[in-house]
Amino acid sequence: MTALLEIQQVVKSFGGVRAVDGAAFDVAAGSITALIGPNGAGKSTLFNCVAGSLRPDAGRIVFAGRRIDRLPTHRIARAGLVRTFQSARALARMTVLDNLLLASIGHPGERLSGLLLRPRAARAHERALRERARELLDLVGLQAHADAYAGTLSGGQRKLLDLARVLMLEPTLVLLDEPMAGVSPRLRVELLDHILALRRERGITFLIIEHDLDFVMQAAEKIVVMNEGRVIAQGDPASVQGDQAVVDAYLGTAAVHEQPAPA
Amino acid sequence: MSTLASAGFWEFVGVVAGIYTILALGIQLQFGFAGLLNFGQVAFMAIGAYTMAILVVKEGWSTWLAAPLGVAAAAVGGLVLGLPTLRLRSDYFAIVTIAFSEIVRYVAMNEDALTGGSQGTIALGPVGQAAQYNGQWAQFQHRMQAWLGLPSADATMLVIVWLAALALLASAWAVLRTPWGRVLRSIREDEDAAASLGKNAFAYKLQALALGAALAGVAGLFYAWQFSYFSPDDFAPLLTFFAWMIVLLGGLGRVFAVPVGAVVFGFIFAGTRFLGFAPFSWFASDQRAYLRLIIIGLVILALVVLRPQGLLGKREEMVLE
Amino acid sequence: MFSQLVVNGLVTGSVYAIAAVGVSLVYGILRLVNFAYGDMMAFGALVAYGCNGPLRQSMVVAALAGMAATALLALALDVALWKPLRARRAGFMSLFLASIGLALVLRQALLLAAGPQPEAYRVDPYRVFVIGSVRLSEAQTIAVATAAAAIVVVALFLARTTAGRVLRAMADDRTLAAVAGIDVARATRLAWAISGLLAGLAGVLAGLVEYSFTPDFGFQLLLPVFAAVVLGGIGSAYGALAGGLALGLAEELSTWSGFAGGVDPVYKPVVAFVLLALALLLRPQGLFGRARVA
């Protein structure tokens, strides 16, 4: 089974500090992979490199056999690799529905040439888009807020919006950036259910940065542990829990819920 | 001598307000919808006007061919400005647009052979002859005047300009409601989020800049026809500033707020000419021009501080910022 | 010929340099691009003219009066406009538009007060110093000598005094500086006062060097000064000094016949604009700035 996403010795520095220092791991298609590690380990920086908002200083990132580490964000998104944001980044002064309608690839109505030369195709695409948007709003339970400004949503609702938005893009791989941060326990369960269902029904691959280790142990098949810019362990939850290097990295932080028994 | 009630005077004000509506619509598109700080808008007005005048006088083109080419030239000007500069940070971009505007004015001022230099379009023709680019337009205007039964050339121009302005406003409104317009607004809102949804922000901004520049080109054409002669000094940065004022006055992000802003601005600007009371009465008439501009500047400062959403903008959009 | 251009370049450059430091200081503290700066310079130039011409004071007194007046203007504007905007948490857009509105008001007020006709300081236009193949008028000599002295004073102030270090620290990282216990309000007032002093001085020197000036000559100066600030690295006072000198030299030297005939002197401002555009495109952090996210 070839990996859907390959991180190959990626390096990224900021003014002399190596935030990512030779990270390397694979993400298998159809899997749920978690990326964990103490604060400052380089997880967000790596995410940004994969998503295209940062350019790695060295190394390669290969997605579905195609090298993406030099592509701009919008091209990567169009190729099927999308991301959510820690802060959800809802477009506050646009409606919830508009937020979803924006998540469309290849819409003739989004190009001036399309508006002029293919008006019927544009209208048809827009109709289909609206239907899918309504479906997704129902899925995440935001249908009552469709015409409200996204800025009026609560934090948890914005996360749902962010998730629905990237799903509109019919992605192959979704990068979730701390989806549980600031979210109520009830909503956490809901989000977990959504993620598992999406993987099961649509075959979407997930790579998730998360600090909530309960969630990680429940949801992920593979866990990648980073510390100080490098991958210090990777594997299934059981083996990672028992890894001494992982324990050492987390010593002193309150993130670990139970002390793993020494291997 | 115009009085407060003189129709001729207000017709003239109406024409200028119409021209400014078109110019300011360009800014509304560029800033109100795409978030671009273009402070060189008047340069595109100049490009439109000069291109038309040069083609008519020097190359003997028909006005009806030269005019669309003037608009196209202005749009190309927008592309030329935007291609290298749109990736810059907002404040740097703004400074570069001012520099661009000054470069255009400098070229117009100094390339006598091309533009007539500081003497303006009168010098476009052969030496000794006062060049006229207005011939066909004046005929057209005459025919319209007779056909519509209007009393004066200014009244006719008023109708023509506002018909054009309304057509452009309606077109802008329609385009902004399309998915294209939706993407544009999302880029103004949060460029990185838009990029994460697959939108090429640079391409959209470039289009908004070029379209706004084309609108300025149209404004330039009407300016040229209304005054039948112009020089580089007519395209001073002050005009860009007035256009910005109109957009802020009416309210950002709303197409039909622009004509409201232009009319209100026209009233303030022209109406203050007639204020005979203090503090105006303390000054000689040529000094009152400065005083009126001071008042206009103070109004815009007050707007920025106290009512940033303008007359018609949505308060909740400002609060959510 | 070449050396004359170098000297002319240093003269213009030093005026740009002083103005650029003033712009840079305010930007560093307040993240405000002050579009009214050119008109503040014109204000200083006119106050000095008022002292030098109608009031028959010497250039030195006139210049000091111009500087003091501009510093007071800067502080008054901070109280009247910038502080209310800061209190309303005005975004960068609002500040930008406000400074443009302010520029308009200032310029028209100056025209109203002084009229549109050109003014000149009482310097002998025929008195010329000759050093080798280089000729310097009295005005140019005064300008470059004063500017050089001012540059040294400013550089020492920034490097050696506590106040200067505070200003540099704030320009570097404002939140960190506040956390470190620096009195932000006082530092702001200091920055405006110095910015005003420098604007006044630069305005007077510009007026000297141009032989005659109109009250609205501030705008012409604004763009080259911004170009100098960007060239040197926005937020860096030393960079502004270097950028100003570099720009002045570039402007003058571009007309040298050795450069394929040289640029037509009329287009000198265009050289400044083109350099500005190039700087922004190729090295947006300038000569001394750090390439960091805004």
Q: What's the pLDDT tens digit per position in C59-77?
A: 888 889 999 999 999 999 9
CA C275 to each of CA A232, B38, B83, C221: distance values in angstroms, whole numbers, following the listed order: 49, 19, 17, 15
Given an 8 Å threshold on Cβ–Cβ distance, is A103 in contact with B197? yes
The reply to whether C80 touches chain B by the CB within 8 Å rule is no
Interchain contact B308–A (C-beta under 8 A)? no
Question: Which chains are within 8 Å of A by 3+ CB pairs?
Answer: B
**Residues C84-104 pLDDT 10s:** 888 887 777 778 788 888 998
Q: How far is CA A195 from CA A172, A192, B177, C45, C211, in A?
A: 13, 5, 34, 68, 74
pLDDT for the residue A256: 46
Question: Is a pLDDT exceeding 50 seen at residue B1?
Answer: no
Contact flag A94-B189 (C-beta cutoff 8 Å) = yes
Mean pLDDT of A72-76: 94
Q: What percent of chain A has pLDDT over 70?
A: 95
HEC sequence for C73-108: HHHHHHHHHHHHHHHCCCCHHHHHHHHHHHHHHHHH
Pick from C99, C119, C129, C138: nearest CA to C44: C119
Tell me: pLDDT of B36 over 70. Answer: yes
Residue B321 with chain A: CB contacts under 8 Å: 93
**Which residues between 137 and 196 in chain B have a beta carbon less than 8 angstroms from any beta carbon of chain A?**
175, 178-180, 182-183, 185-186, 189-190, 192-196
Per-residue pLDDT band for A240 (boundaries 50, 70, 90) equals confident
Q: Could you tell me where the DSSP H helices lie in chain A?
A: 43-51, 73-78, 96-101, 112-117, 119-140, 155-168, 185-202, 213-219, 237-241, 244-250
Number of domains present in the structure of chain C: 1
Minimal Cα distance from C219: which residue of B?
B237
Query: Which residue of chain C is at minimal alpha-carbon distance from B83?
Result: C281
A8: pLDDT strictly greater than 90: yes
Among the ranges given (A62-76, B27-41, C132-146), the one the predictor scored with the smallest mean pLDDT: C132-146
pLDDT over 60 at B3, yes or no? no
- Please tell me which chains touch B, using 3 or more CB pairs under 8 Å as the contact test: A, C
Position B281 confidence tier, pLDDT thresholds 50, 70, 90: low
Q: Using the predicted structure, report yes or no on whether residue B277 has a pLDDT greater than 70.
A: no
Whether residue C215 is preceded by a cis peptide bond, meaning omega within 30 degrees of 0, is no
Contact B102 C223 (CB under 8 A): yes
Structure tokens at C73: 């203007």
Q: Which residues contact A189 (CB under 8 A, 6 or more apart)?
A: none
Q: How many beta carbons lie within 10 A of that of residue C147, not counting itself?
A: 25
Extended strands (E) in B102-255: none
Confidence of residue C53 (pLDDT cuts 50, 70, 90): confident
- Give which of B144, B188, B126 is closest to B321, Cα–Cα: B188
Q: Answer yes or no: is pLDDT of B228 > 90.
A: no
Q: Using CB atoms within 10 Å of the CB of residue A231, give its burial: 0 to 12 exposed, 13 to 18 middle, 19+ buried.
A: buried
Query: Which residues, 6 or more positions from B267, have their beta carbon under 8 angstroms from its beta carbon?
Result: B13
Chain-chain contact of C284 with B287 (C-beta, under 8 angstroms): no
Coil, helix or strand at residue C203: helix
pLDDT confidence of residue B279: 61
Q: Is A223 left (phi over 0), alpha (psi -120 to 50) or beta?
A: beta
Give the CATH H-level superfamily of domain A3-90+155-250: P-loop containing nucleotide triphosphate hydrolases (3.40.50.300)
Rounded Cα–Cα distance for residues C33 and C290 (Å)? 18
Q: What percent of chain B has pLDDT over 90?
A: 45
Nearest by CB: B305 against C84, C266, C276: C84
* Distance separating alpha carbons of residues C144 and C150, to the nearest angstrom: 10
pLDDT confidence bin for B126, thresholds 50/70/90: confident
SS3 (DSSP) at C210: coil
* B249 in contact with chain C, both atoms CB, cutoff 8 A: no
**Does some domain include residue C20?**
yes
Chain C residues with CB under 8 Å of B293 CB are 104-105, 108
B70 Cβ contact list (under 8 Å, min separation 6): B47, B48, B49, B50, B51, B52, B55, B217, B220, B221
Which residue type occupies A172?
T
Q: C166-220, pLDDT tens digit by residue?
A: 887 777 766 677 777 777 788 888 889 999 999 999 999 998 888 788 888 888 8
CB contact, 8 Å: A149 with chain B?
yes
Domain that residue C19 falls in: 15-215
Residue A147 has, within 13 A of its CA and on its CB side, a CA count of 0
B79 touching chain A per CB within 8 A: no
pTM above 0.90, yes or no: no
Q: Is the pLDDT of residue B316 over 50?
A: no
B192, B193, B320 member nearest A151 (Cβ): B320
| CB within 8 Å of B52: residues ≥ 6 apart | B63, B66, B67, B69, B70, B133, B220, B221, B224
pLDDT at A166 over 70: yes
Q: How far apart are CA C224 and CA C229, in angstroms?
A: 9
Residue A181: CB atoms within 10 Å:
15
Q: Is residue C245 part of a domain?
A: no
- Using CA atoms, how far apart are residues A185 and A113, in angstroms rounded to an integer? 47
Residues B250 and B31 sit within 8 Å (Cβ to Cβ)? no
Contact flag B39-C100 (C-beta cutoff 8 Å): yes
User: What pLDDT score was predicted for residue A62?
Assistant: 94
Fill in the amino acid letter for A79.
A
Q: Which residue of A has its CA nearest to B317?
A: A93
The pLDDT of residue B321 is: 38
Q: What percent of chain C has pLDDT over 90?
A: 21
pLDDT higher than threshold 60 for residue A259: no
Confidence class for position A96, pLDDT limits 50, 70, 90: very high
- Nearest Cβ partner of B305 from C88, C276, C280? C88
**Eight-state DSSP code of residue C58:** -
Query: What is the ipTM, given to two decimal places?
Result: 0.86
Distance from CA of C112 to the nearest CA of B (A): 6
Helices vs strands, H then E, count in chain C: 12, 2
What's phi and psi for A61, nearest 5 deg? -125, 120
Q: Looking at residue B251, what is its pLDDT?
A: 86
Q: Token pair 């028909």 is at which residue?
A: B62
State the average pLDDT over residues A78-104.
92
Answer yes or no: do C104 and B287 touch at CB < 8 A: no
Mean of per-residue pLDDT scores for chain A = 88
Mutate to test the interface with C, among B110, B283, B301, B307 (most CBs of C within 10 A): B301
- State how far the Cα of B197 lies from the Cα of B279, in Å rounded to an integer: 56
A246/A45 Cα distance (integer angstroms): 20
- The tens digit of pLDDT for each residue in B192-224 reads 999 999 999 999 999 999 999 999 999 999 999
Rounded CA gap, B245 and B239, in Å? 10
Evaluate whether B301 touches C90 at the Cβ level (below 8 Å): no
Question: What average pLDDT does this structure show over A44-55?
Answer: 92
Using alpha carbons only, what angle is made at residue C291 by residues C288 and C294, rounded to the nearest 5 degrees? Answer: 110
Q: How far apart are CA B265 and CA B245, in angstroms?
A: 8
Position A46: which residue type?
L
Q: Does residue C259 belong to the interface with chain B, where contact is any CB pair within 8 Å?
A: no
The least confident of A210-214, B157-161, B244-248, C120-124 is C120-124
